[in-house]
Every structure is written in C-alpha cells, then in structure tokens.
C-alpha cells in the first residue's frame, strides 16, 4: 500500500493497494484507445409495437467525443422535444468511444437525426424510460499510451490478484481486485468540485453550493474560464458575469440567468432555484458526489486499519450476489443485506470467497443503518468529520436521497496485452475503469482522462 496522488487524496482515494511502481504513460490519447460498451439489461419490444403501450423509442448509440449529457441535449434539440424526454442507464465519458442505450419518449425512428460522431441504431420500444442503473455493467478496453515501465504490469497484476484473494498471477487472464472507489470522474477530472457542491447542499447551504459550482477556478481550466470564475467570486455581479462566462459553460450560464433575474440580493430560495435550473440528473449527481466522497474516505480508513476487503469482520454489513447477472459478471444486489455477527463471520467469509457475497459500506442517506464493530466506528467517524448524518439527506426534490450500500471490493478477470499495453476487463454498474487503471499507471489522474 502506498500513498495516492494528491489529486486523488483530495477526493478520498488516499492509497494505492499495489506497492509496485506504475507503468506510467497516459490514457485517452485518442478516443479509440478508451472503449466502453454497456452490458445491457433492459427489455424492449419490436419497433412496430403499439406506441400507446410502448411510447419510448430505445436506441443504441456509439459515440465518439460526446459526453452523455451533451449528446442527450443534442438529440432532444434535433427532435424538438424536452431534454427530460431523453433517458439513459449510465453516464459515459466524452473522451472515449462509448456504446450505450437511450430511450426517447414519443419519438419515431424516422425522426432520428444524423449527428456527427454518433452511430445510432434503433433497438425497439419500451413501456417505460431507461432509468439510471438499468444495465448490468460495462466492458472496457483501455490502451496505455507511451508507458515508461510496461514490464511493471506483471508485478502489479500479482499484487492485485492477492488483494482480490485470488493468488494466481501466472497467466495474463487472472482475477484481480481493487477497492471499489468512486473514480475522479465522479467529482470532475480537471475540476473536482461536485462533492463540494453536494456537501453544501446537504448542509442546507444553497448559496455555498452555487458558489462552489460557479467559482472555484482551477489551474487545469482555460484562462478565460478561470478569470470568469474569479470574477463571480469577487463581485457577485451576476449580470456582468454572464458577459464573462464562455457560452460553452451553459450550465453555469443557466444558473447565472436565474440569479440575474432576481430583484436585489438573492436569498436562499433563489440560490436553490438556480441549482434547480440544471438537468435533474445533474442535481442528483451533486448529492451522489457528496455520498461518494464519504464512501471513499471510509474505504481509505479501512485500508489504513488493515481490515480485509475480500472477507467480513464482525459488525460488517454484506450484500449478496444478483443471481440474474450476466455470466462472468459478479453483480452485488444491495437490496439483499445481512449484518455479520460473530456467529456468521465464518459462513459469510465462505460466501465472499466464492463471489456470492460482498462486504459493503454506505452511501449515506435518510434510510441508512450504519455498520457495527470496527467498520461502524469508521463510518461514524467519517460522517462526524464531515459534519453529516443520515437525516441531513432529507432534502427537497431531486436532492433527496434514501441512501444505499455499495460493495467495497470489485473483482474482474483481466486480459493484459503487451504491445501495445492494453487492459481489457468488465466491471459491474457503478464501478470505474480508472480505479483499475490508476493502480497500473500511478500517474496524475488528469492523465487518466
């Protein structure tokens, strides 16, 4: 175990679990070198099914250079419908080739536009929209550009196999494990502030949430953007800030329009209204990022205490495997939870060894029950340090969260090619490819994309 990069520590990922030096290099030199394909789990009817019973058109889009939110906006604009009529199961990265499903309420195949950088295939119709999480997982193929120490991949793989509890590093296609951290993208790769926005929301500080999003200039941004963020922090001149903020920052500009329309100084309700100008999925993302930050801190503390990730200790809460998951993909079912007392440690350990159960930590919300024992101590200490408690997540509208639990370890069968250095693997929904890749590269997370 070795300390992580400072940018990763800032979002709660305080360690690498592999001690070996990284291979170096970078990801995403070209979109084609970072490929993501959804492992689909959503039922559809034929495209000629009744539009009364099945009003949602389902399409499979292969995108290059498109952020999921941006593509959804482009699609809705071209169709002349509300952006809220376009839904998807998982948010994908802009700098990649991604294949995923979208559902569009009230659309017909002949209405679909031609979009540069998008190959759109009609799948069928559905009686409901896609919802976040309507997938089993994702398959990844990552090519490392210009690795400095490619031979290190073998030693790293051996260490990650040991962490997974599967010591079989003699072949490239072995099972590895990593802490199921939320990756840098959850918080913003170049400007990690979404958790700061979320923490302010959960604490009821709507003004602080808005300013965390509008302000907070970072060195990784263009000069004009940094200057605009600095201007709004310094002046709170919302109308002039509209002149300063580049038009491509449309979410920030939408918030500024709400604030500029206010007579006098905005009150708390006005700041909240500014946040509610954003798409509903982005509103939810802020609170999710706060939960994710707390989760990362809990995993880092568990690592520091030397507690296992592949088996439970007394007081842990485990979940069981989803029996309907695709073959070869271990998918946790966090609706099936069990608290581990001293009588159950041995039997639950056997379930974990066989991939039938997973130790969890909370994504804290109003219905969260914290663990007992040493893991419970970790959870309570992290929440106390953040000045949070489950009741704080009883929030209005899209900001409310009941909470859930999440597996702390993710295992995957890794295929490792040498020339070029390529990592191929599949992860359950919600797990991050860069959390695997960071163990191999050990670079500034900006170089992970």
Q: Which residues are catalytic?
A: 93
Alpha-carbon distances of 65 from 86, 97, 137, 166, rounded to whole Å: 19, 7, 21, 37
23: phi then psi, degrees, rounded to nearest 5: -75, -15
45 has which bridge partners? 125
Nearest to 138 by CA among 68, 71, 45, 56: 68
Report, in angstroms and rounded to the nearest whole number, the Rg of the chain calculated over CA atoms: 22
Q: Rounded to an integer, what distance in angstroms lies between the CA atom of residue 144 and that of residue 447?
A: 10
Q: Rounded to an integer, what distance in angstroms lies between the CA atom of residue 416 and that of residue 423?
A: 5
Nearest to 416 by CA among 155, 180, 171: 171
In the DSSP assignment, the letter for residue 60 is E
Nearest to 405 by CA among 341, 310, 342, 333: 333
Report yes or no: 209 and 274 within 8 Å, Cβ to Cβ.
no
Q: Is 403 helix (H, G, I), strand (E, B) or coil?
A: coil
Alpha-carbon distances of 315 from 2, 37, 56, 89, 350, rounded to whole Å: 27, 37, 45, 33, 17
Beta carbons within 8 Å of 266's beta carbon, 6+ residues apart: 207, 238, 259, 274
Residue burial 305-335, b: 16+ Cβ < 10 Å; e: rest: eebbbbbbbbbbbbbbbbeebeeebbbbbbe
Nearest to 214 by CA among 187, 242, 233, 234: 233
- Measured between alpha carbons, how far apart are the two ends of the chain, in Å? 23
* Residue 342, token pair as written in the block: 């001293």
């Amino acid at each position: 175990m070795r300390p992580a990069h400072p940018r990763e520590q800032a979002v709660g990922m305080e360690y690498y679990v592999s001690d070996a030096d990284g291979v170096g290099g970078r990801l995403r030199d070209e979109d084609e070198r970072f490929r993501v394909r959804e492992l689909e789990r959503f039922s559809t009817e034929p495209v000629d099914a009744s539009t009364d019973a099945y009003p949602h058109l389902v399409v499979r889009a292969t995108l290059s250079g498109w952020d999921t939110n941006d593509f959804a906006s482009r699609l809705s604009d071209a169709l002349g419908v509300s952006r809220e009529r376009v839904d998807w199961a998982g948010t994908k990265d802009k700098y990649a080739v991604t294949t995923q499903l979208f559902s569009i309420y009230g659309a017909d195949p002949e209405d679909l536009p031609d979009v540069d950088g998008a190959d759109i295939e009609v799948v069928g119709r559905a009686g409901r929209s896609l919802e976040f999480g309507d997938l089993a997982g994702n398959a990844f193929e990552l090519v490392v550009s210009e690795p400095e120490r490619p031979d290190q991949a073998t030693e790293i793989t051996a260490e990650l196999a040991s962490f997974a509890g599967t010591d079989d590093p003699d072949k490239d296609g072995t099972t590895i494990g990593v802490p199921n951290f939320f990756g840098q993208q959850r918080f913003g790769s170049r400007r990690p502030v979404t958790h700061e926005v979320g923490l302010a929301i959960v604490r009821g500080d709507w003004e602080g949430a808005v300013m965390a999003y509008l302000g907070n200039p970072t060195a990784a941004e263009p000069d004009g953007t940094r200057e605009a963020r600095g201007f709004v922090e310094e002046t709170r001149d919302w109308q002039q800030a509209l002149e300063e903020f580049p038009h491509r920052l449309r979410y920030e500009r939408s918030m500024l329009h709400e604030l500029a329309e206010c007579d006098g100084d905005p009150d708390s309700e006005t700041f909240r209204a500014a946040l509610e100008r954003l798409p509903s999925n982005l509103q939810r993302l802020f609170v999710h990022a706060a939960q994710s930050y707390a989760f990362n801190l809990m995993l880092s503390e568990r690592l520091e205490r030397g507690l296992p990730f592949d088996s439970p200790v007394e007081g842990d809460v485990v979940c069981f495997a989803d029996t309907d998951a695709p073959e070869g993909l271990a998918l946790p079912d966090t609706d099936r939870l069990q608290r581990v007392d001293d009588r159950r440690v041995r039997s639950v350990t056997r379930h974990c060894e066989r991939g039938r159960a997973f130790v969890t930590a909370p994504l804290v919300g109003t219905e969260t029950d914290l663990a007992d024992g040493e893991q419970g101590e970790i959870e309570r200490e992290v929440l106390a340090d953040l000045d949070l408690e489950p009741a704080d997540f009883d929030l209005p509208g899209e900001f409310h969260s009941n909470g859930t639990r999440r597996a702390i370890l993710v295992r995957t069968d890794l295929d490792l090619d040498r020339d070029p250095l390529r990592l191929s693997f599949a992860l359950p929904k919600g797990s991050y490819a860069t959390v695997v890749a960071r163990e191999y590269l050990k670079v500034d997370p900006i170089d992970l994309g």
